[in-house]
Structure 1
Amino acid sequence: MRIGELARTTGTTPRALRHYEQAGLITSRRAGNGYRVYDQAAVVRVRNIRYLLDVGLTLDDARAFLPCLDGDMAAAPPSEAGLRIAFDRLAVLERRIAAQTEARDRLAGALRQATGRNVRTVA
């Protein structure tokens, strides 16, 4: 199948598919006209990549799951390596959230001080 069909089938974009290919997560062959052609197995692989990205992992994280990308990742029991990657990513996200919360609170405080108005923040 060509890149547009794979994009439609998997709910992604051709640009994202080219990015996954550049990252070494999927492969294609070139047709005589130069178009990228993917086999049917790419559908499962792309859906698994999307699953990993949707739960908060990065493409670099997903690379560690290469041996598993062709199966049913959502239903498979997690491996120790996979759990370690997920826990590490969760720690990174928690640190980012804490830093953003601090920045929001400093900005709200500065606005309160500058305007004398109570600034409402979403907690």
Structure 2
Amino acid sequence: MRIGELAERAGTTTRALRYYEELGLLPARRAGNGYRAYDEEDLRLLRQIRLLQDFGFGLEETRPFVECLRAGHPEGDSCPASLEVYRRKLAELDDCIARLQDVRAQVAGQFERAVRARDELAAEEVRPPRCEWEE
């Protein structure tokens, strides 16, 4: 298939495919007429790249998965290098989640403080004035 068809089937652009080719993620094969030629295996590589990008992986992080598929493995994540990328990404996500939980706790604390302050102010506003002889 030609580049336009591959881009359409992969849900991307021809520009992106050329960029993947520059990075060495997508093989650059030419047909006899000089046009780029792709097959179903290239589509499979692209789907793996796009899935990982949807998960937040950078293009360079997809390389071990692509290489694993190119080596003939049925899944791009069955090779040791791919598993290591997963480990690093999970650690990165765990760190991000922990930081977000800290920020959430701080925002919740500020919110609770603000609500208490508002309630205290509202209670003072509705309190009738006290006379000196009242206790």
Q: TM bucket by the smaller chain?
A: 0.5 to 0.7
Structure 1 residue aligned with 2:110: 110
Q: Which has the higher contact order (CA 8 A, sep 6+)?
A: 1
Q: Whole-Å Cα distance in 2 between the matches of residues 54 and 63 of structure 1?
A: 15
The code of the aligned residue for 2:12 comes to T
Q: Is 2:41 aligned against 1:39?
A: no
Q: How many residues align?
A: 112
Return the offset for 1:15.
Answer: 5.2
| TM-score computed with the length of structure 2 as normaliser | 0.61
Structure 1 residue aligned with 2:75: 73
| Structure with higher helix content | 2
Structure 2 residue aligned with 1:58: 58
Unaligned runs of 5+ in 2: 119-135
Q: Whole-Å Cα distance in 2 between the matches of residues 65 and 91 of structure 1?
A: 18
Return the offset for 1:27.
Answer: 4.1
Structure 2 residue aligned with 1:121: none
Secondary structure of 1:64's partner?
helix
Check whether the contact 1:27–1:38 (CA below 8 A) recurs between aligned residues. no
Check whether the contact 1:49–1:62 (CA below 8 A) recurs between aligned residues. yes
Return the offset for 1:65.
Answer: 3.1
Unaligned runs of 5+ in 1: 118-123
Identical-residue share of aligned pairs (%): 41
Structure 1 residue aligned with 2:127: none
| TM-score computed with the length of structure 1 as normaliser | 0.65
Structure 1 residue aligned with 2:96: 96
